[in-house]
Chain A
């Protein structure tokens, strides 16, 4: 590890906090604005917003209780699922298909539709060779705005539930959806997309180009409307790229600057949402403690992955080639990594993209060392609450926070309280379901996939690493991440099982979080007393990390021993 590499990572962290804090405060205003927020600046924007509400026949002042809010989210997602599926199946007969790609096979289309409406963006296909331009922009990139905005909307509703007293109302889904998209995701992705194009990310409907290489051979080069899709897939914790190799491809991520901006974008909105939450519930110190817990887990992951990859794999060390950093190379485990990113920026990306539910990659995770590859796996397994997905990260963290507060209450023998609300049996049940359902499903599906003939067909690498591929696949899909040990192959079995994992992995925690929001909103505030466990101090942050390690961490450990640990010890 060079000092330069470490310095890059430290600067990256500083920039992240410097951008996330003001963005969080801005986002709080977006969701709290009782008047049409943009109307203060541009009358036109206000008219457009009103027009949208009229079109979907909603009164923006009429709010929904948690069940009504949840119902709207589910119906909306279901309708969009049909559209994403239909675009893929029909693309061969539609326009904007200059390379004449045929319709997508049904099991891939099923998996992809489930993948994109759940903000997972698991990709059992190579984008540039499977999806027409129309499918990429209208179905997939369009959904990248929407699924991100839906997650952000649900978080806004849950946070209102924590902030409010004695009410049933959590907000209006259509208002939250519109504002998330138009006032947060749209401006940020336009800014990012402009920079990306200027650095060399294509944005064209021109189709493949045929080049005549210097050695006189024909080379086909795929292009397309890439830049805008890359921007929203990074900012919306989607992760689904235009190309198969995602942000490792120079056309998605051409240099160190684009890599900096794209990797910051992974955690920008999830980190900002912590500060947004602090402002909305008037508990800024508490929000800082949540941020500290998340940041500590992020830093530990990076501090393990970076040296592991720099140390290199056993195969490379034994081969005798030069893997020492310096003298014109970054050295280390360069398998499936790009020269312009080297080890530091690859390890950083792998850590960040699995802390969040992003799942985009700038290097191939399947080729990571056993230790380096275990970091992304564990990050995903703990539920993507280390900043996590847009919206889903923080509402997932609320499950652990409630369990932490409950554990603290048990220790002192008092009814636990959180933000002035009594935490009772109902909230604990929802939190337990929210925290435990997904990891349980991930383990169960992994087990099914490695004991059935159909499941085993997807495994690419031999030995313990093959098990890690299956574990990673179902952990990633259950938690809506979307990154992969990408040798794991698409069969109709793995595509179908994965679809189920993604849909349940998205909507079970989402419903549990809304239920908690609804339940807490209805409560009166309980006066703070000497026995109240303080959630704005370092003790709370430590307890929170401890609860996460003890619940999800212990669940994943036995599976880790069968995969990365065996692989690391036997070589």
Chain B
């Protein structure tokens, strides 16, 4: 017993120092040398100012921007407090939230999409993401928003659709995962295209 205790204390100290401190320190050094941009959080800078990360959604409310999916975090798109919304599949609160989000989207987009009905709203537009900071929207949701953004920015729809294509991350290796449109990068590209 005492022998085990002595051995364990030594082992715990050795393991904590080597695997808990030394290894992460060395690996961080390597990561910072080899992949500095990614290791720092894929930050996006404009004129030297950090405007966000390509991997963290941020709030877009103005009509000239593509909007993100709903977020369950507090406040929304909290990059320092990720969370699921955790509403169960039969929770009345879920039904209410989905209805309200759909109504808001209809109100926002209908002027630019005559005849738009709730049946054309893709499901990711009215559901919270897993992280609360999902940086992507489905290509279908981007398409839905394209007419509004083009109209507000006085851009030809074809230009906006081309930018959507350029900022759609396809499946990895062409096969794994699902395509998604990176909203921050798309909005940044729109801003840089003028208007």
A496 interface residue per 8 A CB criterion? no
Asked if B12 contacts A75 (CB within 8 A), the reply is no
Contacts of B54 in A (CB 8 A): 200
By size class, the interface of chain A is 35 or more
Contacts of A208 in B (CB 8 A): 80
Instruction: Return A130 CB to nearest CB of chain B, in Å.
Output: 10
Contacts of B123 in A (CB 8 A): 312, 316, 321-323, 329, 331-334
Instruction: Return A264 CB to nearest CB of chain B, in Å.
Output: 11
A256-B118 CB under 8 A given contacts A146-B15, A314-B89, A336-B128: no
Asked if B51 contacts A214 (CB within 8 A), the reply is yes
Of B49, B138, B178, which is in contact with the most chain A CB atoms at under 10 Å from its CB? B178
Asked if A76 contacts B128 (CB within 8 A), the reply is no
A321-B131 CB under 8 A given contacts A204-B40, A335-B94: no
Instruction: Return A144 CB to nearest CB of chain B, in Å.
Output: 9
Number of interface residues of B (CB under 8 A): 110
Considering the complex, give the chain A residue whose CB is closest to the CB of B2: A75
Of B10, B27, B126, B137, which is in contact with the most chain A CB atoms at under 10 Å from its CB? B27
A197-B188 CB under 8 A given contacts A128-B82, A221-B79: no
Asked if B84 contacts A336 (CB within 8 A), the reply is yes
A337-B52 CB under 8 A given contacts A129-B81, A141-B24, A320-B118: no
Contacts of A314 in B (CB 8 A): 89-90
Q: How far is the CA of A366 from the CA of B137 in the complex (A)?
A: 22
Contacts of B95 in A (CB 8 A): 315, 318-319
Considering the complex, give the chain B residue whose CB is closest to the CB of A2: B178
A407 interface residue per 8 A CB criterion? no
Of B38, B81, B95, B137, which is in contact with the most chain A CB atoms at under 10 Å from its CB? B38
Q: How far is the CA of A254 from the CA of B182 in the complex (A)?
A: 12
Contacts of A255 in B (CB 8 A): 169, 172, 177
- Interface 1/0s, chain A 38-69, versus B by CB < 8 A? 00000000000000100111100000000000
* Chain-B contact segment, one of A408-416, A417-425, A458-466, A543-551: A458-466
Contacts of A142 in B (CB 8 A): 15-16, 19-20
Instruction: Return B71 CB to nearest CB of chain A, in Å.
Output: 11
Contacts of A186 in B (CB 8 A): 23
A-B contact count (CB 8 A): 398
Contact of A334 among B92, B120, B124 (CB under 8 A): B124
Asked if A367 contacts B89 (CB within 8 A), the reply is yes
Q: How far is the CA of A280 from the CA of B115 in the complex (A)?
A: 68
Would you list which residues of chain A between 325 and 370 have a CB under 8 Å from chain B? 327-342, 345-346, 361-364, 366-370
A368-B89 CB under 8 A given contacts A76-B4, A329-B124: yes
Instruction: Return B139 CB to nearest CB of chain A, in Å.
Output: 4
Instruction: Return B64 CB to nearest CB of chain A, in Å.
Output: 10
- Interface 1/0s, chain B 115-138, versus A by CB < 8 A? 001111111111111111111111
Contacts of B125 in A (CB 8 A): 321
A369-B89 CB under 8 A given contacts A315-B94, A320-B118, A337-B129: yes
A-B contact list, 18 entries, CB within 8 Å? A126-B82, A198-B35, A211-B53, A220-B78, A221-B53, A227-B27, A245-B82, A259-B177, A321-B122, A322-B121, A328-B122, A330-B178, A331-B122, A340-B136, A342-B177, A366-B87, A367-B84, A370-B89
List 20 other contacts, CB 8 Å, given A138-B20, A255-B169. Answer: A11-B175, A75-B8, A79-B12, A128-B80, A197-B35, A202-B41, A211-B52, A212-B50, A214-B191, A220-B79, A225-B27, A249-B131, A250-B133, A256-B173, A257-B177, A329-B122, A340-B180, A366-B87, A460-B86, A571-B90
- Give B residues with C-beta under 8 Å from A: 1, 3-12, 14-16, 19-21, 23-24, 27-28, 30-32, 34-35, 38-43, 49-56, 58-62, 65, 69, 72, 77-92, 94-95, 98-99, 102, 117-143, 169, 171-173, 175-180, 184, 187-188, 191
Kindly list the 5 A-B residue pairs having the minimum CB-CB distance in the complex, ordered from nearest: A256-B177, A248-B130, A364-B84, A142-B20, A256-B172
- Give A residues with C-beta under 8 Å from B: 7-8, 11, 52, 55-58, 71-72, 75-76, 78-80, 83, 126, 128-129, 137-139, 141-142, 145-146, 174, 177, 181, 186, 190, 193-194, 197-206, 208-215, 217, 219-223, 225, 227-228, 243-245, 248-251, 254-260, 312-316, 318-323, 327-342, 345-346, 361-364, 366-370, 373, 460-466, 468-469, 485-487, 567, 570-571
